[in-house]
Amino acid sequence: MPVKNRLAELHDEITAWRRDIHAHPELLFDTHRTAALVAEKLHEFGCDEVVTGIGRTGVVGVIRGKSDKSGKVIGLRADMDALPIEEATGVDYASEVPGAMHACGHDGHTAMLLGAAKYLAETRNFDGTAVVIFQPAEEGGGGGKEMCDDGMMKQFNIHEVYGMHNWPGRPVGSFAIRSGAFFAATDQFDITLTGKGGHAAKPHETIDPTVMASQAVMALQTIASRNADPVDRIVVSVTSFETSSTAFNVIPQAVHLKGTVRTMSPEMRDLAERRINEICTGIAATFGGSAEVQYFRGYPVMVNHPEQTDFAIEVAKSVSGDCDEAPLVMGGEDFAFMLEERPGAYILVGNGDTAHVHHPEYNFNDDAIPAGCSWYAEIVEKRLPVA
């Protein structure tokens, strides 16, 4: 079936929720206003349970179907947090919070799941239980992990879990997905290369860490070009190069490098961590200096489960008529933690020809709301059909 009529009727109301959330962005775990709004709406919809404070500021709503012969519980997840970016959209509902905006569309994700929750609470045309999950701190805080660490999956007896992200560049309301590894593991490194500072006119009396660091930046690229199998995907990016002195005539004592590593397999992740240590300590020793390397593992690879991916495709086709194979994404997604605990799938819904996510001119496309809401609702109704 196409977009559900009831959700099409709710389009304006859901849009209003979305724009209210957009005007009041909150970062990481500080999603207090958004969480309160979500909890208020879930109570208003008549959810059987509304639980707050999971994963610090997460909210979970429980909606029981008209029967429960299956005993199955399906989780649906949306993220709530914004990004520390100054908005440049010019819309009349733009961020009222300086230096923060919904530049990734989590306002849209939250509003779409609220719309689906309202529909499911009204109709309850399923056999089992739907659990709607509103998560804080996807943008680097690991809110998904904290909700899992709080025992969410066991507490609500969730059997499968599904998530969605809008995708600029895809036709509005269209879908794309892939089975297996989908979003990359996201790690960080922090390196301090120390030499011997001195006068820039007397380099022979120093151990120049800028030369060491420059060599290291270039050598780190050989992890992808010469250490990794060419068919494996890996990105090693140095994103910050900071010397301990900014004077024109001083060779600094130390250089501080920061960066990120993106991989699609545990093997590549291990390789990157090992080689970053070996390369930097080796180069520093060659020049007579030293290296301190810290490697921080972030989100794991997000892996869609095959059976649930096939089901998500079936539902997407029923809503929009088609579902494309999505490309691998080297960005990270902490829904990965939920998919490590339960089988499930994560899908992309088209946002149209808009600015890309994490851009100050990005804005969620409200025209995608009916398709996104319908996909969430159909996941429950098709997975838990009434006999």
CA distances from 194 to 172, 191, 283 (A): 51, 10, 11
Q: How many residues are there in the chain?
A: 387
**Residues comprising the binding site?**
104, 106, 139, 165, 358
Q: How far apart are CA 53 and CA 24, in angstroms?
A: 20
What angle (nearest 5°) sits at the alpha carbon of residue 184, between those of residues 311 and 356? 85
Question: Which of 145, 132, 244 has its CA nearest to residue 196?
Answer: 244
Write down the catalytic residue from 26, 81, 87, 378: 81
Is residue 138 flagged as an active site residue?
yes
Question: Is the Cβ–Cβ distance between 39 and 50 less than 8 Å?
Answer: yes
Enumerate the known binding-site residues for Mn(2+).
104, 106, 139, 165, 358
Type of residue numbered 318? S
The C-alpha atoms of residue 174 and residue 101 are separated, in whole angstroms, by 25
Q: CA 32 to CA 27: how far, in whole Å?
A: 10
Residue 81 falls in the annotated catalytic set: yes
Cα 316 to the chain's mean position, in Å?
A: 21
Which position among 138, 160, 187, 334 bears the catalytic label?
A: 138
Give the helix ranges, DSSP H, for the chain. 5-9, 11-23, 32-45, 106-123, 143-149, 152-155, 209-220, 222, 266-287, 306-320, 335-341, 369-383
Distance between CA atoms of 145 and 150, rounded to whole angstroms?
A: 9
Question: What amino acid positions are annotated as catalytic residues?
Answer: 81, 138
